[in-house]
Amino acid sequence: MRIQSLKHWIKGSLIVILFFIVCMQRIDAQEYKMAKQLPFSVSSTSNVTSITLTWQWVPEADVYKIYRSEGDEEHFTYIGSVGNLEYTDGEVNKGNTTYYYRIEAYTGTQLIATSTLTNHRLQSMTAPMLSAYVIDYSGIDPYVQLNWDPVEGSTSYEVYRYTAKTKAYVKIATIAHSDKVFSFNYMDSDLALNQSYTYKIKALRTNEALYSNTITEKLEPLATPNVKMEANTSYLHLSWDSVQKAKYYEIYRSTSPTMGFTRIAVIENYYTFYTNRVNNACKPNQTYYYKVRARRTINNKANYGAFSKVVSGNMHLAKPSMKASGGPQITVTWKEVPDASIYTIYRSTQSTTGFKAIACVSDNRYVQKGDKIKPNQRYYYRIIAKNEASGVKSSISNTVSAFISIGNPASTSAKASAVNANQIKITWKKATRATNYEIYRSTSKTKGFVKIATTGNTTTYTDASSSLIPKKTYYYKIKPIRKYYQWKFVGSNSNVTMAMTQIPTTKITSISSPGKGKVIINWKKINNARYKLYRSTSYHGKYSLIKTITNSATTSYKNTGLQAGKKYYFKIKTYVTAGNKKHYDGKYTGTLSITTCKSHTKYDVVDTAIAQKKKPYKWGGSGPKNFDCSGLIYYAYRQNGYKVPRALAYAGHSIGKKTATIKMGDIVHYKNHFALVISKKKISNGYEVRVIEAMNTKDGIRENVYYMGENGPFFHKNFIGFRRI
């Protein structure tokens, strides 16, 4: 009986336990279902044109539906669905309007949770910045040009103008906003002279408007010409300064200073002179009076400037005034006689008699050379000016004289100096009366001189003959020459000067250790020279040749594979090649030392990244055979001892520190992409930034160039910023 009772007790206990477990499972399921349907929170941010919503994750939700209401909390409209936890509403453009949002979480088609309500307003627009200038020049109707940059969020712009007549701002135009326009403008051509106009711009969007700054411009009247008169026997010549914006000039003439003026000519604006000749109804010995005014057309109406002051003159031909100078030739000059068209030159070997006409010229200069007259013979000259059209002549000019002086050139002194291994420069003092110089060279101080060149009237010559041998002494002398037509006059030889060809010594300009076990050496360029680089581990130790540079244009060398944290000594020797001998060595530079870096630097990171160029792109690749954008940066930094996350896209803003400056090794952070800065170069409007990046293109890992302005980036819209490890 006891055994039977025990069996019944155990069976009953099991039934009770099973019932309890089932009840607890139902309670847990119910509580979980209720938890899913509890409201979840939403946060929002905005800029001028959009509102971005973010919210917490709802378990089991695979889609979220977004609803929006304008101005109240009841009338919501469905606007979109997403599978992530962020949504940007770009269909809003009402300033001073509160937008309400509600989000529903779904598993398939089943609603499992609804968010709390959130509300947000768009950021306010910025006021437009207005600039203006007057466009007013000849050939067009003047207008005021208004310019302003686009205002983000604006739908249109209203142009307002204020004048003393209106005494209020009047709207004169409405211009629609376009995202494709980089700058807006408006031309106001409804203008009057000597009238001030004040402008402002209003940027609008629904429920919001902002005014720009104000700018005042004025359309100035035509200036008054400043007229000058020049008179001679055959014409009266008027001239004046150009009047800005004038299209024409009107010339008026009278025989009275106060009345009877008649318009005699209208000329185009590119002329600022007018000539009234004898055959243009002008008489000799008659005084004439003139005045001028500028004219243009505005809106098909003539617009005149004020008349100039009255100027007057009568016609006469002035007496020429002559000068003469001698030397290797005789030059006779005179001041140009107004209205003279030709000058007759007379010459004699006597000061008062025997003058005969030798030439007629239209210039105010006459030259006689030794092919026509005898050297050392004095000649006398005079001229008469004439106007060929009217036949009017001047009186005889003053008499002048000169002669051609021919003599041997003076001697000179010379000096020679070596330029490099195969060039010697010879300089000398200018010899009086010399026109040319002959250069002679020898390998002996006293004999064997051979003419190697004839120069013009210069005082320097560089002997760059291919026959010159490095480290050899050469002797030079200079002979001054004077050439005059068929005659040659030779001066005395200069002193003998000498110089030895030299191999210039370069100079180490800088030495640095940019990375672990690396040294960069820079030196001064020497034309036509080559370079041998030597290295030692002690100042007085044995120096080994580490590199021979055969390109004379190369002035830098990177020495890699050195021991980290060790001091090295460097020096450079220049050399040249000539003849059958391969090398002619110059002197060593001074010795410079440097201790190599103990650890990797950003230079090493960049070098490692550059070494991966042209390797293929592969999603998820982190080297060394292929890379994606994050994998390239991860590989370059990790290879040089830096710790960075592999998945940069998920690390995002936590990578290093954000920086506003740009340095080698910085990371360029885009929304879904990363690149590594190689270099930065200053340009006129900002910086040229060179990067290396992994691109899903044919060439894979490659270098690209982007541009950054002085006040912000010129990168594409997905650019976020720079991060520094």
pLDDT in tens, 243-284: 988 889 999 999 999 999 999 999 998 899 999 887 666 776
Asked whether the predicted pLDDT for residue 392 surpasses 60, the reply is: yes
State mean pLDDT over 513-524. 88
**Cα–Cα distance, 174 to 201 (Å, whole number):** 10
Give me the percent of the chain exceeding a pLDDT of 70. Answer: 91
**Cα–Cα distance, 219 to 421 (Å, whole number):** 70
**Cα–Cα distance, 585 to 574 (Å, whole number):** 6
Tokens encoding 163: 């004048």
**Cα–Cα distance, 404 to 371 (Å, whole number):** 11
Per-residue exposure over 687-711, b if at least 16 CB sit within 10 Å of its own CB, e if not: bebebbbbeeeeebbbeeebebeee
Half-sphere exposure of 9 (CA within 13 A, CB side): 6
Asked whether the predicted pLDDT for residue 493 surpasses 90, the reply is: yes
Instruction: Give all strands (DSSP E) within 83-129, no chain letters.
Output: 86-89, 99-107, 110-114, 118-120
What pLDDT does 672 receive? 82
Name residues whose C-beta falls within 8 Å of residue 305's C-beta, 6 or more positions apart in sequence: 221, 222, 223, 224, 225, 243, 246, 293, 294, 295
Residue 200 pLDDT class (50, 70, 90 cuts): very high
Q: Which of 34-38, 303-307, 583-587, 664-668 has the lowest mean pLDDT?
A: 34-38
Name residues whose C-beta falls within 8 Å of residue 420's C-beta, 6 or more positions apart in sequence: 501, 502, 503, 504, 526, 527, 528, 529, 576
Q: Which of 468-482, 531-545, 672-686 has the lowest mean pLDDT?
A: 672-686
State mean pLDDT over 163-192. 90
Asked whether the predicted pLDDT for residue 367 surpasses 80, the reply is: yes
What pLDDT does 492 receive? 92
What pLDDT does 581 receive? 65
Helix axis angle, 602-610 to 629-638, nearest 10°: 130
What pLDDT does 382 receive? 96
Higher pLDDT, 691 or 280: 691
State mean pLDDT over 206-233. 88
**Cα–Cα distance, 402 to 613 (Å, whole number):** 80
In this structure, are residues 373 and 381 in contact, taking their beta carbons and an 8 Å threshold?
Answer: no
DSSP assignment of 310-322 = PEEE----PPP-E
In this structure, are residues 317 and 232 in contact, taking their beta carbons and an 8 Å threshold?
Answer: yes
Residue 439, judged by CB atoms within 10 A of its CB (0-12, 13-18, 19+), counts as: buried
Asked whether the predicted pLDDT for residue 489 surpasses 80, the reply is: yes
What pLDDT does 13 receive? 63
State mean pLDDT over 601-615. 87
Residue 487 pLDDT class (50, 70, 90 cuts): confident
Instruction: Give the single-character DSSP code of 502.
Output: -
Tell me the pLDDT tens digit for each residue of 55-109: 999 999 999 999 999 988 889 999 999 999 999 998 898 888 899 999 999 999 9
Half-sphere exposure of 93 (CA within 13 A, CB side): 12
- Considering 134-143, 311-320, 365-374, 409-418, the range whose residues carry the highest mean pLDDT is 409-418
What pLDDT does 138 receive? 65
What pLDDT does 30 receive? 46
Classify the C-alpha dihedral 363-367-373-379 as positive or negative. positive
Asked whether the predicted pLDDT for residue 652 surpasses 60, the reply is: no
Q: Can you list the pairs that 701-706 forms with residues at least 24 positions away whose Cβ atoms lie under 8 Å? A: 701/612, 701/613, 701/614, 701/615, 701/616, 701/617, 701/627, 701/632, 702/613, 702/614, 703/610, 703/613, 703/678, 704/675, 706/668
**Cα–Cα distance, 167 to 190 (Å, whole number):** 17
* Complete edge-to-edge strand list for the sheet that includes strand 356-361: 356-361, 342-348, 379-386, 400-402
Higher pLDDT, 356 or 598: 356
Classify the C-alpha dihedral 706-708-714-718 as positive or negative. positive
What pLDDT does 93 receive? 86
State mean pLDDT over 277-305. 82
Asked whether the predicted pLDDT for residue 31 surpasses 50, the reply is: no
State mean pLDDT over 371-391. 85
Tell me the pLDDT tens digit for each residue of 408-466: 888 999 999 988 878 899 999 999 889 999 999 999 999 999 999 999 999 999 998 87
Give me the percent of the chain exceeding a pLDDT of 90. Answer: 47
C-alpha dist (Å) from residue 4 to 1, 7, 17 = 5, 5, 20
What pLDDT does 475 receive? 96
What pLDDT does 29 receive? 43
State mean pLDDT over 357-383. 90
State mean pLDDT over 45-61. 91
State mean pLDDT over 501-527. 88
**Cα–Cα distance, 260 to 290 (Å, whole number):** 11
Name residues whose C-beta falls within 8 Å of residue 667's C-beta, 6 or more positions apart in sequence: 633, 648, 655, 656, 674, 675, 676, 677, 722, 723, 724, 725
Asked whether the predicted pLDDT for residue 535 surpasses 90, the reply is: yes
In this structure, are residues 714 and 645 in contact, taking their beta carbons and an 8 Å threshold?
Answer: no
- Considering 223-232, 279-288, 638-647, the range whose residues carry the highest mean pLDDT is 223-232
- For residue 320, cis peptide bond before it (omega within 30 degrees of 0): no
Tell me the pLDDT tens digit for each residue of 549-580: 989 899 999 998 888 888 999 999 998 887 66
What pLDDT does 35 receive? 41
DSSP assignment of 211-230 = E---EEEE-PPPPPP-EEEE
Asked whether the predicted pLDDT for residue 524 surpasses 80, the reply is: yes
Which amino acid type is present at position 398?
N
Instruction: Give all strands (DSSP E) within 189-261, no chain letters.
Output: 196-205, 208-211, 215-218, 227-231, 235-240, 248-254
Residue 347 pLDDT class (50, 70, 90 cuts): very high
Residue 708 pLDDT class (50, 70, 90 cuts): confident
Q: For the beta carbon of residue 36, count every other beta carbon within 10 angstroms.
A: 17
Classify the C-alpha dihedral 271-277-282-284 as positive or negative. positive
Residue 1 pLDDT class (50, 70, 90 cuts): very low
Instruction: Give all strands (DSSP E) within 421-543, no chain letters.
Output: 423-428, 436-442, 450-455, 460-463, 473-484, 487-490, 497-500, 508-512, 519-523, 530-536
Kindly report the length of the chain.
Answer: 725
Cα distance between the two ends of the chain: 83
What is the residue-averaged pLDDT of the chain? 86
Asked whether the predicted pLDDT for residue 542 surpasses 70, the reply is: yes
* Complete edge-to-edge strand list for the sheet that includes strand 51-55: 42-46, 51-55, 86-89
C-alpha dist (Å) from residue 688 to 610, 668, 702, 711 = 18, 14, 16, 14
Collapsed DSSP state (helix, strand, coil) of residue 2? helix
C-alpha dist (Å) from residue 634 to 61, 84, 316, 379, 514 = 34, 27, 93, 94, 20
Asked whether the predicted pLDDT for residue 14 surpasses 70, the reply is: no
Torsional class of 261: left (φ above 0), alpha (ψ -120 to 50), beta (otherwise): beta
Tokens encoding 57: 């994750």
Q: CA angle at residue 625 from 706 to 723, to 5 degrees?
A: 35
In this structure, are residues 564 and 597 in contact, taking their beta carbons and an 8 Å threshold?
Answer: yes
In this structure, are residues 646 and 634 in contact, taking their beta carbons and an 8 Å threshold?
Answer: yes
What pLDDT does 670 receive? 84
Asked whether the predicted pLDDT for residue 637 surpasses 80, the reply is: yes
Which amino acid type is present at position 348?
S
Collapsed DSSP state (helix, strand, coil) of residue 233? coil
Residue 334, judged by CB atoms within 10 A of its CB (0-12, 13-18, 19+), counts as: buried
